[in-house]
Amino acid sequence: MDAPDTELEKELKATLQARSELGAEYESALVESFLDKVEQRLDGTLDRRVRRHLAQQQINVARGARAPEPPLGHFGERFGFGIISLVLAIPLSAIGVANAGIEGLVVAWLGIVGVNVVQAAHGRRLFGRRENEPRKTSDWED
């Protein structure tokens, strides 16, 4: 796993170097390019994980076992989401600062924190009921 991280780190350094050489007028194009590379990396990683998971499920079903239901808020899902948020926080912070100064940085981080809070709350008790609980016919019932 070190090789992909090193490759992405090199891409980031190259993008920052190009930004310092080309100037601010090319910043948005450079950030777009870097984000495209990050997205490609994430897509490739996700594709491999999904294929591996599906293959394991097929093996389990072929052996006669039922396909397991993953628990809500599985650790790997939460950890991956947190890592992706941190990776994307770098360019989002740069864009926010470049366009709106400190206010842009604050707005970018409020968005990042908000998305993570919503994701962390997914599957937990929200608004008085769990996601998989049946809805009451009336809000007045207990």
74-92 pLDDT, tens digit per residue, is 667 777 888 888 888 888 8
pTM: 0.40
**Which letter does DSSP use for residue 122 in this model?**
T
- What is the 3-state composition of the chain as percent helix, strand, coil, each rounded to the nearest 5? 75, 0, 25
- Cα 90 to Cα 139: distance, rounded to the nearest angstrom: 44
The count of other CB atoms within 10 Å of the CB of residue 103 is 11
Q: Which two tokens stand for residue 130?
A: 């769990």
Q: Which two tokens stand for residue 6?
A: 């090193």
Contact indicator for 105, 96 with CB cutoff of 8 Å: yes
Give the mean model confidence (pLDDT) for residues 62-78: 65
Determine the 3-state secondary structure of 62 from DSSP.
helix
Give the mean model confidence (pLDDT) for residues 29-42: 85
Amino acid found at 110: L
In angstroms, the Cα distances linking 118 to 43, 44, 122, 125, 127 are 22, 25, 6, 12, 13
Burial of 94 (0-12, 13-18, 19+ CB in 10 A): buried
Contact indicator for 39, 11 with CB cutoff of 8 Å: no
Give the mean model confidence (pLDDT) for residues 106-129: 74
Q: How sure is the predictor about 38, in pLDDT bands with cuts at 50, 70 and 90?
A: confident
